Amino acid sequence: MMDKCGKVQQKVSCVFETEILNEPSNKRQFQGYKVVASDVLKNTALLSDVTRSIATEKLDGTCVFIAEFKGRPWLWARLDRKPNKAGDKRFKQYRSSLQKWEQSSQDLPKPSLEWDMEKDFKQVPEHWIPASDVPIVNGHPQPDQNGHTPGWVPVEKTSRQYCWHASAVDLDRSLGLFMGQGEVVSGAHHLQIRVLPLQSVLGHTAELIGTHINANAYSREIQSRGPYVTFNST
């Protein structure tokens, strides 16, 4: 199982080409359009041999990262740097202009947005780090197409905000409770829960799951054991 672990630092892009529908969004208030997936596969997906891939069901939780902090193996929580009120206003104006341009004859130049990295974004905690694949320009981590900069913060053992993160690990002894693929019994695949040293999974991301993570209601059996983390595969 361990050799299949990978660093999933950002969301995987949709494998289908997207379309813009001229109707209000169900997810974002005040957004007057929808972005939906079409039936056409992206060329990048085809080049990645997606037609031979196997779809799997994901246990939904929140992403975490295992990396060193102050010289010790540590658990990091996901924290994206987001635009502040002024930056978000500029970003929405840009998205609105872009939508109108995409629905027009496109004779005029395509709208663009140049972020002010000093003024357009909220402050992040002292030890925040950007995700590994985030581009750095002039020393500043760059936001993605949604205006967010994916990143991580080290989990504080006594923080109420990250109490469920901390309950999945013993940071003093650098141990974590992990779930992964177990043995096949009578043709059925089983999951296995075990304690692993954080040192053995440094540099990997994982999914923190449990009944109190993102309000996900799992079965009683999982409730009695969680929270714990599951590995994201490459």
pLDDT tens digit sequence for 21-61: 888 887 777 778 888 889 899 988 888 888 887 766 666 78
Token pair of 84 as six digits: 């502040």
Q: Which two tokens stand for residue 146?
A: 């949604």
Residue 149 contacts residue 143 (beta carbons within 8 Å)? yes
pLDDT in tens, 149-167: 999 999 998 888 898 899 8
Domain boundaries defined on the chain: 2-65+160-231
pLDDT digits (tens, 9 = 90+) for 57-83: 666 788 899 999 999 999 999 999 999
Decide: 34 and 177 in contact? Cβ < 8 Å.
no
pLDDT at residue number 229: 58
Closest C-alpha to 224, from 210, 213, 206: 210
Phi-psi group of 64: left, alpha or beta (phi > 0 → left; psi -120 to 50 → alpha; rest → beta): beta
Please give the model's pTM, rounded to 2 decimal places. 0.72
Residue pLDDT, tens place only, 126-137: 999 999 889 999
